[in-house]
Structure 1
Amino acid sequence: MSKEQKKRISRDGFNNLLGIFKYMWPYKASFIIGLILLIVSSSIFMVFPYVSGKLIDLASGDQDWFIDNIGTAALVLLGVLFFQSVVSFFRVVLFARVTENAMASIRVELYERLMALPITFFDKNRAGDLISRISNDVSILQNTFSTTLAELIRQFIILITGVGLIFYLTPALSVFMLATFPVIILVAIFFGRFIRKLSKQTQEELAAANVIVEETVQSIHAVKSYTSELFEIARYGKSMNQVVKTALRVANWRGAFISFIIFMLFGGIVAIMWYGAKLVQSGEMTVGDLLQFILYTTFIGASIAGLGDLFGQVARAVGAAERILEIQDETPEWEEKAAESTDLKGDISFESIEFTYPTRPEVQVLNSISLKIKKGQKAALVGHSGAGKSTIVQLLMKFYPLDKGKISIGGKSIADLDVQSLRSHIGIVPQEVILFGGTIEENIKYGKPEATHQEVVEAARKANALDFIEQFPESFETTVGERGIKLSGGQRQRIAIARAVLKDPDILILDEATSSLDAESEHLVQQALNELMKGRTTIIIAHRLATIRSVDQIYVLDQGKIVESGTHEELLAQQDGAYKSFIELQLQD
């Protein structure tokens, strides 16, 4: 990467961090008051070294100050500390209020944007990495805006005020001290850039490690089935070792920076004390003036030493802001101006469709696909795995943009329809049913959240699910477990069918809905599907003969093309036909 690129990325990254402030705007009053309190408390605290020096001068008999009593001077010091403590309390509370609300807004908006993004985005990004952005990266920003930002401002106030006061009060010693500043500042700038780069690398490697955890937890049955626990443990351990290695490298460089700063500062303080002692000895300054200078110098030195670590934390926040705003900058699939549809009960037409997946542009998945499914018909898509059957369904639901061609329903191009309106009229019963970790009723109502309990019961009855649901002690309030793990395959399928019944879609898609079931479960599920398909335009993806023989039209796909179409009897009558070969092969199995 060139220097120009680094500068541009650094500047853009900082602008991204500033962009996070828009989430604090609704709470600007609290933030501004907190900022004022921060400035006031930090400024008042700088009186402490001055009063401390005067206290020593009073003890030494030098009474050129408006307070001539040691006790009164001590009370002034305690008053300064008490005032600063009270102000700091309110400042911390106000900043916490602003930050907690702002970070909650970021998380909600980030989640909203994730939900609005197209399938292509999720094809390109791993789930663990996305979860890391909404959790770890926002937490980094939360820490930065609640603690680091305030500390950074405080240290700058101490640094600037302290330098101004020592030049005003003790100019001779100040010039002597100034010799160490340029070196420290240059080193701080260099280390800040270097640590920022390493910190972002640590975040990315931690996100990669989280991806492994996400994948293994989601696919725990596969991991257990293949006895891959040790392999996954080793894979995660290797990833975490890389995280630790990079994090320790960051810590080493940060430690080296802080050690250098400490040596430079305290070495400078020793030199200043030596030179100040000579000035006291010669009568050019008082002991109180020397104490003032040493305290101010200590405050300034501590501020500079802290700035290196604070800049490192800000650098991590810049990286987090970049990763968060990358998602915010993605284009959602919810079109604002697309037309909504009250119903989609017309013929479904695919005209000369060509398609390649955005993540695999070199593979032609569909090639000049044209088909028509009349309103109320049942059509089956048949073919070997990878022929393009599921892709046709995904395109109908606008999961992906077409390369060429047109899909229309009732004469309306789906390209002109609002994506949510379109999908609200389509129901799907997939092969792999995904249930959410709530109750059975909550899962059925997922297709229609406003449904009444009686509607849910009726949908379950039509789906042949009522009998087994009522056998549970808690009936519809039974918790299904994560991804429906407490239910059998057939039970999950019937819950999915009940969900589709309740949604009452115009178009129904059955994607291998009975292929993984035993004979008894398949019989019950098929009865429920027959009830569900009545009066609806239905697209069936299936291999089993029992499922496809009774449909109105069968389309046979091979390598992304429709090679045959017709009824079951018509296709069987074709000698050496693809469908006939497909059925004969199945009967042999």
Structure 2
Amino acid sequence: MARGNRQDNGVRKPDMPKAKLTKENLKEALLIFSYLKPYRYTFITGLLFIALSSGTTMAFPYFLKRLIDSAHSLSLGKEAVSPGTIALWMLGILTLQMIFSFMRVYLFTYVGEYALADMRKEVYRKMIMMPMDFFAQRRVGELSSRISADLSQIQEAVTGMLAEILRGILTLIIGMGLILYLSRSLTAVMLSVVPIIVVAGVVFGKRIRKLSRNTQDQLADSNTIVQETLQGVSNVKSFTNEWYEIGRYTRSLQQVVKLAVSNGRFRGLFVSFILMSIFGTIILVVWYGTTLVQAGTLSFGDLTAFVVYTAFVGGSMAGFADLYSQLQKTLGATQRVREILRDTTEPVTVTDEPVEEKNKLLGAVTFDRVSFSYPSRKEVHILKEITLTAAPGEQIAIVGPSGAGKSTIAALLLQFYQPGNGQILFDGKPANSIPLSQLRKQMALVPQDVFLFGGTIRENISYGKPGATQPDIEEAARKANAHDFIMSFPEGYDTVVGERGIKLSGGQRQRIAIARAILKDPVILVLDEATSSLDSASESLVQEALDNLMKNRTSFVIAHRLSTIRNADKIIVLDKGHVIESGTHQELLALNDGLYKSLNKLQLEWASE
């Protein structure tokens, strides 16, 4: 379930799950530092500027003490350094602090951005090279979260959190040393309040975190209602359930408000208690300090410096609570990224080299007693001892009822999966003897549910052959019966198709996909029910484009409408994972009680109704 927290800009982002601070988790976090190695000198320089920045910060109260003591000494007629000189020193320190702080932030941002870009590239490369089974067992949202939310959390840790932790530790160590040096008795008074604040922080913190999680869960439920309603808005409107959905969302929001107000009440009590404790401590320290000043054991400058250093120490201690929470989130994010990087699934080796002469195909394909079960459902046998052959340039149609294994044959042809038994041969050579990228460069798929990228029509067609010229793209579009409708748009080939091609009709999307395949000029073509969801007018144009595409190519046509495959060289009829019939359209119709004949009869009856 998605959770969220609010950023300063009011935009919600996923609330990162936290990991416990253990030795094993800290070892996982060392992954970050392996990516810092190329920038280690810049990183070390950044650490140096952190130390310099902390030093100048902690020096400021010391010079403030000198300034006050100097003014006090001069007022008593004693010899002392001029307050103006000390003020100039303080301005110099402030200038140095400004420079050191700028360099610290700049260098850590530089290192963090470059290191995390390297990590993003490696995670993305690892994911996109994984076989299809890897994606079949994982949700797209989960994988995209690794690239976006998890790596962003790690990025924030490198660019900000790490520097803040180091600066806070230095401030705490230097500050504690200086307040002990200034007055041990005042330090004891100040530290006496710390256990009370810590205990209160633990008690209130647990309650606040629990209420925050409950609020986030309830808000996630509300967001789910919105998402489901918008995705299924046609159902909502067809059932006139707008007010039902409004009521459902309102009730969920009321729970969010109730939990959030309860959380606010506890946070208000906690903040009030902390403020009272802090200012009460300051009052106590100043009161006790004035008695020491009156007794002559502490100067007024020392008291002022002590109060300022105490504020620095208190601020550092308060900041560690949030930094600890951020560290837990970063450890969790690092664990999930590491899961991707060390996944034992063997990545697919893909190169961008042209097809070598020795690997060029003529188009002969053989399924030799192929059996297959999907890795996630090994007990379900999708294909059983399938044997079929296709000569170069032949059109092979594959038909059968739903669940017969038609689309699985397409997946095996494209080497998305490997057969459990048997083998697939291309030009008589086993598929695994040909480099996968070399094999797929000579194949093309036109699916039923065409996916178009959200860019322009030109970009989507040229996806079949990156770097193709405009004349080549237009020629492919003409052969796909797409050029005319493309030019009817005001922007022509520069028309943006929208997410998944939503701005185009089904027939237009299909013809863009066909143009993409024509541009690729494959040896082997796989058509997975490419016309099954189209109306008659669109089907006619798409079928003509498909006929152009299939010329002189070995084609495997997975067909739903049998009228589109009557001229196929061979029709394979599948049922329950077996090849039960094989032949031409006329040969299969001549079989008494044949499945193909039965399917053809049913479709003719539907068409006549």
Do Structure 1 and Structure 2 share a fold, with TM-score over 0.5?
Answer: yes
Equivalent pair of 2:20/2:328 in contact (CA under 8 Å): no
Aligned counterpart in structure 1 of residue 451 of structure 2, from 424, 434, 448: 434
Q: 1:432 to 1:336 in 2, by over 3 A?
A: closer
- What are the within-5 Å matches in structure 2 for residues 496-535 of structure 1? 496-535=513-552
Output the TM-score relative to the length of structure 1: 0.85
CA displacement 1:441-474 (0-9 Å, x = unmatched): 2221110012222222221222222333333444
Partner of 2:429 in structure 1?
412
- What are the within-5 Å matches in structure 2 for residues 196-211 of structure 1? none
CA shift at 1:364, angstroms?
A: 3.0
Partner of 2:347 in structure 1?
333
Q: Which moved more, 1:463-472 or 1:32-41?
A: 463-472
CA shift at 1:556, angstroms?
A: 1.4
Equivalent pair of 2:562/2:600 in contact (CA under 8 Å): yes
- What are the within-5 Å matches in structure 2 for residues 140-219 of structure 1? 140-179=153-192
Distance 1:372 1:392 in 2: 13
Equivalent pair of 2:126/2:347 in contact (CA under 8 Å): no
CA shift at 1:49, angstroms?
A: 1.7
CA displacement 1:508-545 (0-9 Å, x = unmatched): 01111122223232222222222221221111110222
Segments of 5+ residues of structure 1 without an aligned counterpart are: 1-5
Equivalent pair of 2:153/2:329 in contact (CA under 8 Å): yes
**2:316 partner letter:** S
- Aligned: 1:309 with 2:326: no
Aligned counterpart in structure 1 of residue 58 of structure 2, from 43, 46, 50: 46
**2:573 partner letter:** V
Q: Which moved more, 1:259-268 or 1:183-192?
A: 183-192
- Aligned: 1:285 with 2:314: no
Partner of 1:466 in structure 2?
483
Output the TM-score relative to the length of structure 2: 0.82
- What are the within-5 Å matches in structure 2 for residues 118-133 of structure 1? 118-133=131-146
Distance 1:409 1:233 in 2: 58
Distance 2:347 2:141 in 1: 22
**1:335 partner letter:** T
Q: 1:61 to 1:469 in 2, by over 3 A?
A: closer
Q: Could you say what secondary structure the match of 1:402 adopts?
A: coil
**2:48 partner letter:** I
Equivalent pair of 1:200/1:316 in contact (CA under 8 Å): no
CA shift at 1:351, angstroms?
A: 3.0
Equivalent pair of 1:129/1:210 in contact (CA under 8 Å): no
Q: 1:199 to 1:126 in 2, by over 3 A?
A: farther
Partner of 2:396 in structure 1?
379
Q: 1:504 to 1:202 in 2, by over 3 A?
A: farther
Equivalent pair of 2:19/2:332 in contact (CA under 8 Å): no
Aligned counterpart in structure 1 of residue 102 of structure 2, from 66, 89, 99: 89
CA shift at 1:410, angstroms?
A: 2.0
Q: Which moved more, 1:330-339 or 1:194-203?
A: 194-203
Equivalent pair of 1:129/1:208 in contact (CA under 8 Å): no
CA shift at 1:138, angstroms?
A: 3.2
Distance 2:583 2:452 in 1: 36
Q: 1:454 to 1:134 in 2, by over 3 A?
A: same
Partner of 1:37 in structure 2?
49
CA shift at 1:271, angstroms?
A: 3.7
CA displacement 1:273-294 (0-9 Å, x = unmatched): 3433333333222222222222
Aligned length: 584
Equivalent pair of 1:367/1:561 in contact (CA under 8 Å): yes
CA shift at 1:109, angstroms?
A: 3.6
CA shift at 1:477, angstroms?
A: 2.8
Q: Could you say what secondary structure the match of 2:73 adopts?
A: coil
Q: 1:245 to 1:370 in 2, by over 3 A?
A: farther
CA shift at 1:551, angstroms?
A: 1.4
Q: Which moved more, 1:539-548 or 1:561-570?
A: 561-570
Distance 2:30 2:416 in 1: 34
Distance 2:44 2:256 in 1: 38
Q: 1:202 to 1:346 in 2, by over 3 A?
A: farther
CA shift at 1:549, angstroms?
A: 1.9
**1:18 partner letter:** L
Distance 1:365 1:576 in 2: 24
**2:559 partner letter:** A
Partner of 2:307 in structure 1?
294
**1:55 partner letter:** L
CA shift at 1:503, angstroms?
A: 0.5
CA shift at 1:399, angstroms?
A: 1.8
- What are the within-5 Å matches in structure 2 for residues 56-75 of structure 1? 56-61=68-73, 67-75=80-88
**1:84 partner letter:** Q
Distance 2:42 2:387 in 1: 61
CA shift at 1:306, angstroms?
A: 1.3
RMSD: 4.1
Q: Which moved more, 1:65-74 or 1:495-504?
A: 65-74
Q: 1:553 to 1:249 in 2, by over 3 A?
A: farther
Aligned counterpart in structure 2 of residue 564 of structure 1, from 581, 587, 600: 581
- What are the within-5 Å matches in structure 2 for residues 528-543 of structure 1? 528-543=545-560
**2:347 partner letter:** E
Q: Could you say what secondary structure the match of 1:273 adopts?
A: helix
Q: 1:36 to 1:166 in 2, by over 3 A?
A: same
**2:321 partner letter:** G
- Aligned: 1:135 with 2:124: no
Q: 1:205 to 1:318 in 2, by over 3 A?
A: farther
CA displacement 1:7-51 (0-9 Å, x = unmatched): 987444433333223334333343332221121011111112222
Equivalent pair of 1:261/1:305 in contact (CA under 8 Å): no
Distance 1:294 1:402 in 2: 75
Partner of 1:3 in structure 2?
none
Q: Could you say what secondary structure the match of 1:535 adopts?
A: coil
CA shift at 1:118, angstroms?
A: 2.7
Q: Which moved more, 1:442-451 or 1:314-323?
A: 314-323
Partner of 1:351 in structure 2?
368
Q: 1:65 to 1:338 in 2, by over 3 A?
A: farther
Segments of 5+ residues of structure 2 without an aligned counterpart are: 1-17
Aligned counterpart in structure 2 of residue 19 of structure 1, from 16, 31, 42: 31
Q: 1:30 to 1:228 in 2, by over 3 A?
A: farther
CA displacement 1:109-152 (0-9 Å, x = unmatched): 43333322333333333333333333333333333333332222
Distance 2:477 2:42 in 1: 52
CA shift at 1:158, angstroms?
A: 0.8
Distance 1:492 1:213 in 2: 29
Q: 1:218 to 1:398 in 2, by over 3 A?
A: farther
CA shift at 1:563, angstroms?
A: 2.2
Q: 1:532 to 1:98 in 2, by over 3 A?
A: same
Q: Which moved more, 1:357-366 or 1:41-50?
A: 357-366
**2:109 partner letter:** A
Distance 1:56 1:11 in 2: 48
Equivalent pair of 1:192/1:315 in contact (CA under 8 Å): no
Equivalent pair of 2:350/2:436 in contact (CA under 8 Å): no
Equivalent pair of 1:188/1:308 in contact (CA under 8 Å): no
**2:69 partner letter:** D
Distance 2:121 2:448 in 1: 32
Equivalent pair of 1:196/1:316 in contact (CA under 8 Å): no
Q: Which moved more, 1:23-32 or 1:149-158?
A: 23-32
Distance 1:94 1:476 in 2: 44
